[in-house]
Amino acid sequence: MSAASRARASEIADGPGHLLAMSDLGRSEIEELLSLTDTMVEVNSRPIPKVPALRGRTMVSLFYEDSTRTRLSFETAARRLSADTMSFSVSASSVNKGESVRDTVETIEAMGIDAIVVRHKSSGVPEQIARWSSAAVINAGDGWHQHPTQALLDSYTIRSHLGSLEGRHIAIVGDIKHSRVARSNIEAFTTLGAEVTLVAPPTLLPPSLEPWPVKVSHDLDAVLPSLDVCYLLRMQQERMTEALVPTLREYSSQFGLTEKRADRMAPGALIMHPGPMNRGVEIAGAVADRPNAVMTEQVANGVAVRMAVLFMLLGSGRYPMRGFPTEDAATADDPGPERARPEDADPATITEPATITDPATITQPTRNTAKDPR
């Protein structure tokens, strides 16, 4: 954990745990999350991919920026753990009537929620919400800053193919300057022991690379044969205020993963992309469909990683928790087999076969609304 994260952690120490940046996690915590993800992958492979681990908990997704896969992925993850979900869509909300982020957070909190998943075009908004909120806050992408669950799902995908990231050579190629995915992945990959080379034209690199233990190259052709992973980024034109490459065609000719270039990669080396892809710009359409291009696995692993993160923050005793139903409260309200119980928070119970819900129990109140008054 970095000094900044430690300071933040102590400042919000009596609140719940949050996942705001990769620097919130040390190597052992990342590895623990990846092992928990193995369990979630197993859950997702069952005929009924659902467990009661977060029954009675509510997650709200608060997305101020366009997203399809990340929002759906978090909502799927929450439902597979039997949490309730609410989705806050900015275009259909009071934000358009001038409501501030703070008022929005207070309003949704008043409905009784346990986790807020937030995406915003400005860096630092999730951290600010964590200061205001008594719910666990998960950063689903803030400006150019961080996208920690993307880095975790990418690390998991690499680990599942290559065994470990230790000593692996990973290139992150393209628009690094505007990329929260690059910033999170650099931290995750290097913390897990990989060697990272950033490959981009100088205009698409941040002005200072000093804090990062990475190499830099402007020549993709020179780097390609030594790679274990070629991680491509989208040209994030919505974040560019000036023309940073002469033309997209020019960019593709130097930094796009064409078929000819992909042929020069080592056997078994992976091609990755966080999506959405611009076929024909950073990656040739046919390359994106090769067997060593693992984008759909990244998406599938995204659900499992987010299940692990939600479980870590809301389901186990590892992070401070509020308002988890006590044995007594749960028994009084809900005698059903799927009610939220402290033992549901034990990962061991996740390996049990999923319980098929008895419709009779669905009508019973399952949520303990007695919240910590804080």
Alpha-carbon gap, residue 70 to 306, rounded angstroms: 10
Closest to ligand NCD by CB, 177 vs 180, is: 180
Closest to ligand NCD by CB, 30 vs 181, is: 181
Closest to ligand NCD by CB, 182 vs 330, is: 182
Instruction: Please identify which residue in 80, 159, 234, 341 interacts with ligand NCD, judged by CB under 6 A.
Output: 234
Minimum CB separation of residue 234 from ligand NCD in Å reads: 4
In sequence order, the β-bridge partners of residue 138 are 19, 117
CB atoms within 10 A of CB 96: 9
Closest to ligand NCD by CB, 236 vs 349, is: 236
For residues 21 and 146, the answer to whether their CB atoms sit within 8 Å is yes
Decide: residue 250, CB within 10 A, 0-12 exposed, 13-18 middle, 19+ buried.
exposed
Closest to ligand NCD by CB, 18 vs 180, is: 180
Closest to ligand NCD by CB, 40 vs 140, is: 140
For ligand NCD, the binding residues in 63-82 under the rule CB under 6 A are 69-70
Minimum CB separation of residue 63 from ligand NCD in Å reads: 10
Closest to ligand NCD by CB, 275 vs 280, is: 275
Exposed e or buried b per residue across 231-243, where buried means at least 16 C-beta atoms within 10 angstroms of its C-beta: bbbbbbeeeeeee
Residues whose CB falls within 8 Å of the CB of residue 92, separated by 6 or more in sequence, listed in order:
none
For ligand NCD, the binding residues in 144-183 under the rule CB under 6 A are 147, 150, 180-181
Question: What character string, x for contact with ligand NCD (CB under 6 A) and - otherwise, covers 241-280?
Answer: ---------------------------------xx-----
Alpha-carbon gap, residue 23 to 120, rounded angstroms: 19
CB pairs under 8 A, 24+ apart, for 242-245?
244/175, 244/177, 244/201, 244/203, 244/204, 245/201, 245/203, 245/204
Which residue number has the CB closest to ligand NCD? 234
For ligand NCD, the binding residues in 99-118 under the rule CB under 6 A are none
Minimum CB separation of residue 248 from ligand NCD in Å reads: 15
Instruction: Please identify which residue in 15, 52, 126, 141 interacts with ligand NCD, judged by CB under 6 A.
Output: 141
Q: Amino acid letter at 52?
A: P
Q: In 3D, which of 272, 306, 359 has the Cα closest to residue 40?
A: 306
How many chain residues are in contact with ligand NCD, going by CB under 6 A?
11
Helix/strand/coil for 283: strand
Alpha carbon distance, N-terminus to C-terminus of the chain: 26
For ligand NCD, the binding residues in 8-67 under the rule CB under 6 A are none
Positions in the binding site for ligand NCD (CB under 6 A): 69-70, 141, 147, 150, 180-181, 234, 236, 274-275
